[in-house]
Structure 1
Amino acid sequence: MNAPPLELLAARGTDLLVRVAAVACAARELPQLAEELAGLVVRCAEELTFCDVYVLDDDGRVLEASNRPPVPLGDADVGWVAAHGCARPHADGRGVAIPVRCDGATIAVVDVRSAGRCRDEDVALATALAGLFAPVLSSCRRLRAAKEREHAAERFAERAVEVQEAERSRLSREIHDGIAQRLAGLGFHLSAAERALPDDLPETAQQIALARRLCDLAAAETRAAIGGLRPPVLDDLGLSAALATLAREATAARLHVSVTVSGELEDALPDHVQTALYRIAQEAVGNCVRHASATCVDLLLEHDRDRVRLTVADDGVGFSIQDVFAPGRRPDSYGLRGMAERAELLGGRVSVTSRPGVGTTVEAVVPVPASRGRREAGGPG
């Protein structure tokens, strides 16, 4: 029983080693690997009837096995073995809990049972397999922890965008119900004053007319601010329609924007990804209007299986990348930084290509989180 695991398993014949290699190479994720290891122990032993492989969770507090209730660390035979790091026979003699140790720590427990008393040979086999699979189980635990961190980051990004957009929606409602309504009332009263004014007060009429024009301009800017804070079309019709609306609005500023959408996603883009891409496109097109002196903009949205790419290219005057991003040089670089921060929050990136006289291209690539169904099925993330 004290022989090294490989020597003990090799003594059982090459067929067993082939089985071990097949399991180790086939299942690389939890809980599939734990289930395969449990089945391998039962198939290779002489009289073992059951085997469960309990894997310690990432917090080191609970042991988990497929189709079994979780066992807190220290509870029952399995929890005791995980806490103390040494094997423990069951009280009836018909089973034993065996620790799986890696790098000096217990990471799992192999719990075997038989119809009668456990044979020493079967316990030795299970112990050897536990030792042999310890590095593989440890690697799977690290992979599981990494995926959990990735999913947590996705959930954080989604929540951050949701909070940001909720605040924008609140501001939009407040402006609509407050400032916009007061400007409408002001315009009504100015029109009434203009109609009631006697004809012998031309200077007063001129001032009222000027005030009316300023009121109309402020109302138009307020409506534009409300639409910029939260475009209703994004909620109602989705990203493609919102980009088309953005293009039509840019036409009013004498800027021709063409929108092309290619490819399909397995699932619809999550709301927070749509919102981030729309904001990036909105900022990029806004920069074309404000700074680029462009006449044409090509906006391309490309869907791939696990990512989406947004490209905004203009024929404007361009600029020097080094000058824009130099500390303290140009305040308009905040818009470019904002686009980059939005993409980075979702695990993506934004690249800007420009030279004076050549135009500017903004490219945003954002990964698309795996759907909930594919995650639970263990599909690629």
Structure 2
Amino acid sequence: MTGERPLELLASRGSDLLVRVAGVACSDRELPRMAEKLAELVVRSARALTFCDVYVLDDEERVLEWRGAPVPLGEGEVGRVAAHGRARTHPDGRGAAIPVHGDGIVIAVVDVRSAGPCPPDDLALATALAGLFAPVLSSCRRLRTAREREHAAERFAERAVEAQEAERSRLSREIHDGIAQRLASLGFHLSAAERALPEHHPEGLAQIMMARRLCELAAAETRAAIGGLRPPVLDDLGLSAALATLAREAGNGSGAPGALDVTVTVEGELEDELPDHVQTALYRIAQEAVGNSLRHASATRVDLLLEHASDRVRLEVADDGAGFSMRDVLARGGRGRRPDSYGLRGMRERAELLGGRVAVTSRPGVGTTVEAVIPVPGRRP
């Protein structure tokens, strides 16, 4: 081994090596790709080293990860180096395991081997590269941890939404099969009682008619509650058909002059059906956006586009209405010209809970476009 500092030792090998080092250090900070690039750099830069593996400590600091099976700390040459923080020459003299220190611990081990006795200058080179790349590997580990936490939060949100939608579906079914059926039966019996009641009992007839009206009102409220929990059309027909139904209802299906013209376009296909909670979120966003066009925009036309891709679903709702100033609507504490900031917060929260986003663009006199993009679970790019 030599007493030279890492950069001095690497510089003594020529400027080409420094260029390669800089290239690897500035490349993509993803593990395990960075570990593989470092291993390639060590072998390529040494004179007699024929093989190199870089083992990186996992986030729980229990095992070292590489392209093979994880190595527990303290087991084998590499595991003992990671546990004790000191380099170890392999018993056959054909290489060594070198610790990489960072964040106060051994974060990785560089394991090098040669065909014959390992030259000291090659071990010095591997040690220098290990020290030089310690901050890089530390950065990679922190980035990996942050992304895993982000993905864990997304998965938790997805599971929470799935559980919420499953409970809503259960309640919807129970209300439909229970209360709604009881009300329908009650209405039938009240109608029968009305027919059977003699005409000379006007007070009784009035009471029955009142009971029928109350029954019909309760039935209508029950249907609204079922639709609020989970739109039955989604279960019966799926998202594309549900959007088509929404379009017909918004336009009253009349085609009369002055009626709102709503069109639905579906592009692309998915191998598997979208999860229920994703369909519900997209339907609710479309429902809110179309409702805003009806209530506030004075629009004559609304175009819905549902676009399927391999890893995401995109919904776009565009109208030709009056539009609005984004600054006025989104200003802190401001509500702009429309109430409740057009329901933008609710639409965005639905998408963000599923790891997606909602973007709204509008200008006065130009119309409004709502775009929702939601990733398909299990199909991340």
- TM-score w.r.t. the length of structure 2 is 0.79
Q: Which residue of 1 aligns with 2:288?
A: 283
Q: Given the superposition, is the C-alpha separation of residues 323 and 59 from structure 1 closer, same or farther in structure 2, using an over 3 Å criterion?
A: closer
Q: Distance in 2 between matches of 1:52 and 1:335?
A: 54
Q: Which residue of 2 aligns with 1:308?
A: 314
User: Could you give the per-residue CA deviations for residues 259-301 of structure 1, whole angstroms, max 9, x where no partner exists?
Assistant: 3436658877853433222122223445666x54957462433
Q: Which residue of 2 aligns with 1:339?
A: 347
Contact 1:277-1:310 at 8 Å conserved across structures: no
Q: Which residue of 2 aligns with 1:13?
A: 14
Q: Given the superposition, is the C-alpha separation of residues 303 and 322 from structure 1 closer, same or farther in structure 2, using an over 3 Å criterion?
A: closer
For residue 310 of structure 1, give the secondary structure of its aligned residue in structure 2.
strand
Q: Given the superposition, is the C-alpha separation of residues 57 and 131 from structure 1 closer, same or farther in structure 2, using an over 3 Å criterion?
A: same
For residue 151 of structure 2, give the secondary structure of its aligned residue in structure 1.
helix
For residue 198 of structure 1, give the secondary structure of its aligned residue in structure 2.
coil
Q: Distance in 1 between matches of 2:123 and 2:115?
A: 14
Q: Distance in 1 between matches of 2:76 and 2:9?
A: 29
Q: Distance in 2 between matches of 1:353 and 1:325?
A: 19
Q: Distance in 2 between matches of 1:158 and 1:282?
A: 21
User: Could you give the per-residue CA deviations for residues 186-213 of structure 1, whole angstroms, max 9, x where no partner exists?
Assistant: 0111111011111222343243234323
Contact 1:246-1:282 at 8 Å conserved across structures: yes
Q: Distance in 2 between matches of 1:295 and 1:197?
A: 51
Q: Distance in 2 between matches of 1:359 and 1:170?
A: 43
Structure 1 gap segments, 5+ residues each = 376-380
Q: Which residue of 1 aligns with 2:40?
A: 39
Within-5 A mapping of 1:112-191:
112-191=112-191
For residue 93 of structure 2, give the secondary structure of its aligned residue in structure 1.
coil
Q: Given the superposition, is the C-alpha separation of residues 36 and 332 from structure 1 closer, same or farther in structure 2, using an over 3 Å criterion?
A: closer
For residue 168 of structure 2, give the secondary structure of its aligned residue in structure 1.
helix
Confirm or deny that 1:366 pairs with 2:373: yes
Structure 2 gap segments, 5+ residues each = none
For this pair of structures, how many residues does the alignment match? 368
Identity %: 64
Q: Which residue of 2 aligns with 1:378?
A: none
Contact 1:267-1:371 at 8 Å conserved across structures: no
Q: Given the superposition, is the C-alpha separation of residues 243 and 33 from structure 1 closer, same or farther in structure 2, using an over 3 Å criterion?
A: same
RMSD across aligned positions (CA): 3.8
Q: Given the superposition, is the C-alpha separation of residues 307 and 326 from structure 1 closer, same or farther in structure 2, using an over 3 Å criterion?
A: same
Amino acid in structure 1 at the alignment position of 2:189: H
My pick for the range that moved more, 259-268 or 214-223, is: 259-268
Q: Given the superposition, is the C-alpha separation of residues 368 and 316 from structure 1 closer, same or farther in structure 2, using an over 3 Å criterion?
A: same
Q: Given the superposition, is the C-alpha separation of residues 360 and 17 from structure 1 closer, same or farther in structure 2, using an over 3 Å criterion?
A: closer
Q: Given the superposition, is the C-alpha separation of residues 153 and 253 from structure 1 closer, same or farther in structure 2, using an over 3 Å criterion?
A: farther
Q: Given the superposition, is the C-alpha separation of residues 132 and 235 from structure 1 closer, same or farther in structure 2, using an over 3 Å criterion?
A: farther
Q: Which residue of 2 aligns with 1:243?
A: 243
Amino acid in structure 2 at the alignment position of 1:6: L
Q: Given the superposition, is the C-alpha separation of residues 317 and 52 from structure 1 closer, same or farther in structure 2, using an over 3 Å criterion?
A: closer
Q: Which residue of 2 aligns with 1:54?
A: 55
Q: Distance in 2 between matches of 1:146 and 1:9?
A: 32
For residue 365 of structure 1, give the secondary structure of its aligned residue in structure 2.
strand
